[in-house]
Structure 1
Amino acid sequence: MSEIAERYRRRAELFEQKVAAVGPDQWGNQSPCEKWSARDVVDHVVMMHGVMLMPVERTLEAADDPLTAFQQARTAVEAVLADPALSAQLVETPTGQMTVEDHIDQVVSDDLVLHGWDLARATGQDETMDPVDVERLWASTTKVPPDVMEKYRTPDAFGPGIEVFGAEVAVPEDAPLQDRLLGYIGRQP
């Protein structure tokens, strides 16, 4: 298993545990994402898994409940990551050409960490992110050039209804790195 596949598997397991822990009456809870409920967070993560599968001509089957939908999406992405020919294919992305494996790593795998926090906050679960993931995301996110970050912060820049990051939230410089990361991407830690 590649490092990227292992990272995705670990992150997907943690996200799936959060989805499984959501109570039936919590799906409508407001998430830290202004326009999304807890259910919308999971729907977004599943939808983005489908986007990652399109270049390799894979699709997701519809599922009524969020847990089943995520499990099916996870299984499909893990199958692509396990196939060296599929994961090595080059694809065009909004940030340039890269392999399917790298695209999955930089989009949905990272989303599992960030949106896992959103789901935890919305449903009263433990909001602690893996410190290794926090450090990795901080390093990659703060390296984004200012003009690209501005695009990430602009609603609809990548298509209707797509918002990558919100406006930066001021967080003290001596705050824990998780809080600084969350503030940087527009969340209120």
Structure 2
Amino acid sequence: MSEITDRYRRRADEFERKIAAVRPDQWSNPSPCARWTARDVVGHIIDMHAAMLRPLGRELSPAPSLDDDPLAAFRAARADVQAVLDDPALATRECDTPSGRVTAERHIDQVVSEDLPLHGWDLARATSQDDTIDPEDVERAWAAMRALPADLMEKFRTPGAFGPDVEVFGPEVKVAEDASPQDRLLAFIGRDPAWRP
């Protein structure tokens, strides 16, 4: 198992646990992502799984709908991405992505795998679960964010730069100088670490 595959599986397991813990009456709860409910957060993650498959000419397998069964919908999407990572020919195939030409596994690692802990926080906060992000994931994400060129970070913060209604990061939120690494990361990408539903 490659490091990328292991990392994706660990993060997807954690996100799946959070979905499984959501009570039926919590799916319409607001989330830290403006205009998104808890269900919308899961829908976004499923959509991002589909986006990982498109450069390979693949699409998500038929699955229960997000409205009917968010957990089953996510499990089906993650199985499709896991199948790519588990197939060396597919995982190492180069494809054109918004970040340039990279292997499919690198694209998955840099996009949807990185999204899982951050949106896991959104889902956990929306549904009153433990929202602690794995410190290793915080450290990796913080290093990646700080390494982004200023012009690319500006693009990430510009609504619509990657398509209609697509907003990657919000404006940076101010936090105390002694804020935890997790809170600094969340604030950097435009989340208010103190947000509550």
Same fold (TM over 0.5): yes
Name 1:22's counterpart in structure 2: 22
TM-score w.r.t. the length of structure 2 is 0.94
Deviation at 1:160, TM superposition (A): 0.9
Amino acid at match of 2:121: W
Pick the aligned partner of 1:132 from 127, 133, 136: 136
Deviation at 1:100, TM superposition (A): 0.6
TM-score w.r.t. the length of structure 1 is 0.98
Aligned partners of 2:101 and 2:176: how far apart in 1? 36
Amino acid at match of 2:71: L
Is 1:116 matched up with 2:117? no
Deviation at 1:35, TM superposition (A): 1.3
Pick the aligned partner of 1:104 from 103, 108, 111: 108
Name the count of aligned residue pairs.
189
Amino acid at match of 1:57: G
Aligned partners of 2:98 and 2:155: how far apart in 1? 11
Aligned partners of 1:172 and 1:14: how far apart in 2? 28
Deviation at 1:142, TM superposition (A): 1.1
Aligned partners of 2:141 and 2:150: how far apart in 1? 16
Deviation at 1:4, TM superposition (A): 0.1
Deviation at 1:171, TM superposition (A): 1.3
* 3-state SS of 1:19 partner: helix
Deviations 1:141-160 (A, max 9, x none): 11111110010011111001
Question: What RMSD in Å do the two structures reach over aligned CA positions?
Answer: 0.8
Name 1:156's counterpart in structure 2: 160
Aligned partners of 1:52 and 1:122: how far apart in 2? 26
Name 2:38's counterpart in structure 1: 38
Aligned partners of 1:140 and 1:46: how far apart in 2? 23
Is 1:90 matched up with 2:100? no
Deviation at 1:33, TM superposition (A): 0.2
Pick the aligned partner of 2:147 from 143, 148, 169: 143
Give yes or no for contact 2:63–2:72 (8 Å, CA) kept in 1.
Answer: no
Name 1:59's counterpart in structure 2: 59
* 3-state SS of 1:164 partner: coil
* 3-state SS of 1:25 partner: helix
Deviation at 1:62, TM superposition (A): 4.0
* 3-state SS of 1:31 partner: coil
Aligned partners of 2:115 and 2:23: how far apart in 1? 22
Aligned residues with identical type, % of pairs:
63
* 3-state SS of 1:155 partner: coil
Amino acid at match of 1:32: P
